[in-house]
Chain A
Amino acid sequence: MTSLAYMFREAFNNFGRNALVVLGAILAVFISLTLTFGTVVFGEVVRVNTLQWAEDVRVIAWLEDDMTLDATAALQNEVATWPQVADVFYISKQEAFQEALVLFSNNDAMLRILEESPDILPASLRVQPADPEEYGLIVTRLASTPGVEKVQSAGDAIDAMIALRDGLQVMFWLLAVALGVAAVALIANTIHMAIYARREEIEIMRLVGASDWFIRTPFLIEGALEGLIGGALAVTFIVVAQQMAVDRLSDLPDWINLAVQNDFILRQGALVLLFGVAAGLIGSSLSLAVHRTLRS
Chain B
Amino acid sequence: MIKLENVTKVYPGATVAVKDINLDIAKGEFVFLVGASGSGKSTLIRLMMREEMPTNGDVWIAGKHASQLPSWKVPYLRRSIGTVFQDFKLLPTKTAYENVAFAMEVTAKHRSIIRNQVPQVLKLVGLSDKSDRLPRQLSGGEQQRVAIARAFVNRPLILLADEPTGNLDPGTSVGIMRILDHINRTGTTVVMATHDHAIVDAMQRRVVELVRGRVMRDESRGVYETRKNSDTTPERDPQATQEQAAVVAQGEKREPSAEAAGTESTETRPVQDDVEGAVQ
- Nearest CB of B to A24, in Å: 25
B111 and A2: CB pair below 8 A?
A: yes
Q: For the side of the interface on B, what is the size category? A: 20 to 34
Chain A residues near B105 (CB-CB < 8 A): 2-3, 6
B154 and A208: CB pair below 8 A?
A: yes
B107 and A200: CB pair below 8 A?
A: no
Given contact pairs A2-B110, A204-B89, A211 touches B76 in the complex (Cβ within 8 A): yes
B83 interfacial by beta-carbon distance below 8 Å: yes
Chain A residues near B102 (CB-CB < 8 A): 201, 204, 208
B108 and A209: CB pair below 8 A?
A: no
A209 and B89: CB pair below 8 A?
A: no
- Nearest CB of A to B174, in Å: 26
B103 interfacial by beta-carbon distance below 8 Å: yes
Closest residue of A by beta carbon distance from B160: A207
Kindly identify which residue among A3, A203, A209 contacts B79, using a CB–CB cutoff of 8 Å: A209
B107 and A208: CB pair below 8 A?
A: yes
Please report which residues of chain B, range 94-112, place their CB below 8 angstroms from some CB of chain A when the two chains form the complex: 102-103, 105-108, 110-111
What's the tally of chain A residues with a CB closer than 8 Å to chain B? 18
B279 interfacial by beta-carbon distance below 8 Å: no
A2 and B91: CB pair below 8 A?
A: no
Query: How distant is the Cα of A214 from the Cα of B79 in the complex, in angstroms?
Result: 14
Please report which residues of chain A, range 183-216, place their CB below 8 angstroms from some CB of chain B when the two chains form the complex: 200-201, 203-212, 214-215
Query: How distant is the Cα of A208 from the Cα of B105 in the complex, in angstroms?
Result: 10
B108 and A207: CB pair below 8 A?
A: no
Please report which residues of chain B, range 61-85, place their CB below 8 angstroms from some CB of chain A when the two chains form the complex: 71-72, 74-79, 81, 83
Query: How distant is the Cα of A207 from the Cα of B103 in the complex, in angstroms?
Result: 9
Chain B residues near A208 (CB-CB < 8 A): 78-79, 83, 102-103, 106-107, 150-151, 154
Query: How distant is the Cα of A215 from the Cα of B107 in the complex, in angstroms?
Result: 10
Chain A residues near B111 (CB-CB < 8 A): 2
Could you pull out 28 A-B pairs where Cβ atoms are within 8 angstroms? A2-B105, A2-B110, A3-B105, A200-B89, A200-B91, A201-B102, A204-B91, A204-B103, A206-B75, A206-B78, A207-B49, A207-B83, A207-B89, A208-B83, A208-B102, A208-B150, A209-B75, A209-B77, A209-B79, A209-B107, A209-B154, A210-B75, A210-B107, A211-B75, A211-B107, A214-B108, A215-B106, A296-B71
